[in-house]
Amino acid sequence: MDLFEQAGSAHRPLADRMRPQTIDEVFGQRHLLAEGKPLRRALEEDRLHSMVFWGPPGTGKTTLARMIAAYCGARFISLSAVLSGVKDIRAAIDEARRTREREGRDTVLFVDEVHRFNKAQQDAFLPHVEDGTIHFIGATTENPSFELNNALLSRVRTYVLKRLDEDDLLAILRRALGDSERGLGGLGLQADDDALTLLARAADGDARRALNLLEIAADLAGEGGTLDDALVAEVTSHSLRRFDKGGDLFYDQISALHKSVRGSDPDAALYWFARMIDGGCDPLYIARRVVRMASEDIGNADPRGLTLALQAWETYERLGSPEGELAIAQAIVYLAVAPKSNAVYMAWKAALRDAREQGTLEVPMHLRNAPTRLMKELGHGKGYRYAHDEAEGYAAGENYFPEGIEPRQYYQPVDRGLEARIRERLEYLRGLDAKQQGGEEGA
């Protein structure tokens, strides 16, 4: 029997019929399946182990799981975390136990979208992975570090699958067109190279999507027809790029946007902004993040950045899409080319750390509020020096920290933008402090 059941194949989607049946039929994932690579060696040496496949849709996670079971002569049981619960897990475990007792065969229990199982459901696998009743293979598009519990992660090996490149997708499409047994080879279709390239690009690294689009195009072309640019453009006109709101790809892209702004590259920043908007991201989410960038990475080096970021947010709320997106783009470009400083961000983190670690230190008496006679009689506010009455409007040598903590200098302005002038001013004021302290010691 073939690796995959062939009965009724004419009614199965093309993407399912064209699943690779051997390692050599797999396109992509060379870092795992090329000669001498870890997963290929495990298969060839019949070293079955529990694992998790982490990667984007359409990169072959299910196919590899089936292939692993077939190569190792193991029974294959599949569960979907979307449709299954603890009862289904127990039934699969019982089936695996019976298979071992009656046939002496191992069982691969494949769980698709394993990140959708909660902690209790994930824990249900642990003893059976431990005693070898099952070899667990999970598939996820989300970061296992965040979505799987540590107990399960410690018992599996994680393999990262990568999106397929354009050449891989073109090879998959051509194989489907030429395969008369499982593919479209018996239809006499003709396909322009440019049209296939358009299909590959629209698939965006997803083999399943590429084959689904090809199947739609073939249906439209009809037997003996031609897949040309116009036909493919019609098929792919509504094909969105991968974005995955709330998933890893979402956070990877906002991270790339933020880091492009921090790195003073307005062009890359605009590209990632466009990618997120094109993928369906809420522009208001990006507007909020842009405000964060203005404070974290530009700060007082150019305070106008924060003003412009807030104005962009307000502009979008007034205009909506697509007009308001231009204001966000304007703010992104401004922040990217502005002088950079994270001095306030670092100062805030340091001050917050001290506040948490030092405990509840009392406010010094001279800094306390004294709105009543009793408070004044108790000494609240006594000895406070009103800065406006001092020379240069500065109470040189005054200490505003509580007793029990040495005065800190959290804020260290950089020598860029407005902060260069702020730095000069602070150095001057600290010089006045030093003179005042030196005079007090001399007296």
Question: Each residue of 29-87: pLDDT tens digit?
Answer: 999 998 888 888 888 888 889 999 998 888 999 999 998 998 888 999 999 988 888 88
Residue 296 is assigned to a structural domain of this protein: yes
* 245 touches 281 (CB < 8 A): yes
* Count of structural domains within the chain: 4
In a domain, 330, yes or no: yes
Nearest to 293 by CA among 271, 316, 264: 264
**Co-location of 323 and 372 in the same domain:** no
Q: Are residues 193 and 277 in the same domain?
A: no
3-state class of 54 per DSSP? strand
pTM of the complete model: 0.61
Residue 245 has pLDDT above 60, yes or no: no
Determine, yes or no, domain membership for 48.
Answer: yes
Residue 64 lies in a domain: yes
In a domain, 243, yes or no: no
Output the six-digit token pair for 266. 């307005």
Q: Looking at the structure, do residues 46 and 118 belong to the same domain, yes or no?
A: yes
Answer yes or no: is 319 within a domain. yes
Q: What is the CATH number of the domain that holds 47?
A: 3.40.50.300
Determine the average pLDDT of the residues in 210-220: 90
Instruction: Write the DSSP string, 75-143.
Output: EEEEEETTT--HHHHHHHHHHHHHHHHHH---EEEEEETGGGS-HHHHHTTHHHHHTTS-EEEEEESS-
CA neighbor of 204 nearest in space, from 245, 247, 178, 168 = 168
**Cβ-based neighbours of 379, under 8 Å, separated by 6 or more:** 365
323-337 and 304-319 helices cross at what angle (nearest 10)?
170
Residue 327 in domain:
yes
Measured CA to CA, the distance from residue 86 to residue 92 in angstroms comes to: 10
Same domain for 153 and 269, yes or no, is no
The parent domain of residue 66 ranges over: 29-160
Judge if 92 and 35 occupy the same domain: yes
Predicted pLDDT of residue 248: 56
Round to whole Å and give the CA distance between 200 and 177: 14
- Taking residues 337-348, report their average pLDDT: 94
Q: If you average pLDDT over residues 385-395, what whole number do you get?
A: 88
For residue 44, the model assigns a pLDDT of: 83
CATH code at position 215: 1.10.8.60
Q: Considering 337, 357, 392, which residue would you say is the last residue of a domain?
A: 337
Tell whether 127 and 71 lie within a shared domain: yes
Q: What is the rounded distance in angstroms from the CA atom of residue 175 to the CA atom of residue 153?
A: 37
CATH number, position 264: 1.20.272.10
Last residue of a domain, one of 207, 236, 265: 236
**Is residue 5 scored above 70 in pLDDT?**
no
Q: How many CB atoms lie within 10 A of CB 85?
A: 14
Question: Which among 236, 268, 296 is the end of a domain?
Answer: 236
Domain co-membership, 201 together with 256: no
Q: Are residues 188 and 272 in the same domain?
A: no
> 4 in a domain, yes or no?
no
Kindly state the average pLDDT of the residues 89-110.
93
Q: What is the largest CA-CA distance in the chain?
A: 104
Q: Is the pLDDT of residue 212 over 60?
A: yes
Could you tell me if 43 and 144 lie in one domain?
yes
Q: From its phi and psi, is residue 120 left (phi > 0), alpha (psi between -120 and 50) or beta?
A: alpha
Which range among 17-21, 94-98, 211-215, 278-282 shows the weakest confidence by mean pLDDT? Answer: 278-282
Contact 26, 33 (CB under 8 A): yes
Same domain, 33 and 106: yes
Q: Where residue 389 sits, what CATH number does that domain have?
A: 1.10.3710
Residues 220 and 189 in one domain: yes
Same domain, 263 and 189: no
